[in-house]
Amino acid sequence: QPVCLAPGAMVLPRFALAEASALLAAIDRIASRAPFRHMETPGGFAMSAAMTNCGPLGWVSDRSGYRYQPDDPLTGEPWPVLPSQWSEFAQRAAAQAGFSGFAADACLVNRYQPGARMSLHQDRNEQDFSQPIVSVSLGLTVTFQFGGLRRADTPEKVILSHGDVVVWGGPSRLRYHGVLPLKPGYHPQAGGCRYNLTFRRAG
């Protein structure tokens, strides 16, 4: 029962609910090899959301900029494998939203603790903007900001809760978006955190 937010932006409410505990357990395994860390922005600030990646490519930020790379800069090792159940799940979600044949080669895992946020930005470090991004929210609920194609466009607020999946493609692929500061709380499966998985076709 997809809900259309805007052309190309489809919410699949609770689409990941059945898989949620398996996804959270797999996040722990990934983070045991590629620990969550607060990446540095090109401007020299620490991001408030902690991040890690799995898959052939991972998104990184440091003083030299934003990019995708095959190795974890923290360990020098390749990013952990993207579990096949995850890529199949992302492909099913994309297909539900009308994007058939989506094959992710990167999964960025964000962890928000109370106060963590993400300011308005565009995702444009990927090669092919005709490919959507699939995002999965787990744990505590957050208010997401869904803006327009210009930074100055006033964003709409969208509540994202445990198990919600959003597919961002087509004319919404380059919209500005962000996350308001996480409020403290407790979730039975995720504790005091919110996790967000974003599946991308980066290369």
Chain residues binding Fe ion by CB under 5 A are: 123
- For ligand MD3, which is the closer residue by CB, 162 or 173? 173
Shortest Cβ contact with Fe ion: which residue?
123
Closest Cα to residue 199, out of 126, 115, 117?
126
Count of all residues that appear for the chain in the document:
203
Stretch touching ligand MD3 by CB under 6 A, among 60-68, 74-82, 85-93, 173-181: 173-181
Among the listed residues 16, 50, 60, 179, the single contact to ligand MD3 using CB under 6 A = 179
CA 33 – CA 113 distance, rounded (Å): 20
Q: Does 87 bind ligand MD3 (CB under 6 A)?
A: no
Among the listed residues 79, 89, 168, 199, the single contact to ligand MD3 using CB under 6 A = 168
Looking at the DSSP bridge assignments, the partners of residue 178 are 145
CA 63 – CA 70 distance, rounded (Å): 18
Q: Does 172 bind ligand MD3 (CB under 6 A)?
A: yes
Closest Cα to residue 177, out of 160, 194, 201?
160
Whether the CB-CB separation of 107 and 199 falls below 8 Å is answered with yes
> Where on the chain is the footprint of ligand MD3 (CB under 6 A)?
108, 110, 118, 123, 133, 135, 166, 168, 172-173, 175, 177, 179, 196, 198
Enumerate the known binding-site residues for Fe cation. Answer: 121, 123, 177
